[in-house]
Amino acid sequence: MLNYLAVSVIPIMIFVIIIIGIKEKKDVYALFIEGVIEGIKIVYKIFPYVLGITVAIGLLKNTNALNIILTPIIPILNNLGVPMDIIPLMAFRPLSGAASTSLVMDIFKNCGPDSTSGKIASVIMGGTETTIYTITILFAAAKVKNLRGTLIAGLLADVTAIITAIILVNIAVI
């Protein structure tokens, strides 16, 4: 029964939208086409930014440049109880959801989801955002040039969530 309801939600919503459109004497098909055209315009505007950040993330990940950048702070993080597996996730999470999801899957495969690394990774994924990616796409689409502290606030929130995840898991609250 629940499976039937889950599969039926979208067709029911489409039917309801059509009924409301007819009731309000709106051309539902024309409105749909206008929405599609607007969506294509938005994709056209933000595609260069998506492509640029995707290429940059790919280069960071595949050239091991991130490992070189993080080398000086790895010993400090290890002394603070941060597992080695989590360090790349901490760096990639603000940049890319797909890259960080891939890293979490690797952590789950190599360490297990119930390991300390798996638990920290899970909390990080739930408590942080792809801040840089989101700001890049949204601000580019809106043609906003001045970030006005948005980037700093977003990254501080991510750092706070990461520190909290490490502390909570290390003191075995979760």
Taking Cα atoms as reference points, which of 102, 91, 78 lies closest to residue 128? 91
Residue 169 CB neighbours (<10 A): 23
- pTM metric for this prediction: 0.68
Residue numbers of the chain with a pLDDT score lower than 70: 1, 173-174
Q: Is 99 helix (H, G, I), strand (E, B) or coil?
A: helix
At residue 173, the pLDDT reads 55
Q: Is 84 helix (H, G, I), strand (E, B) or coil?
A: coil
Residue 132 CB neighbours (<10 A): 19
pLDDT in tens, 110-132: 999 999 999 999 999 999 998 88
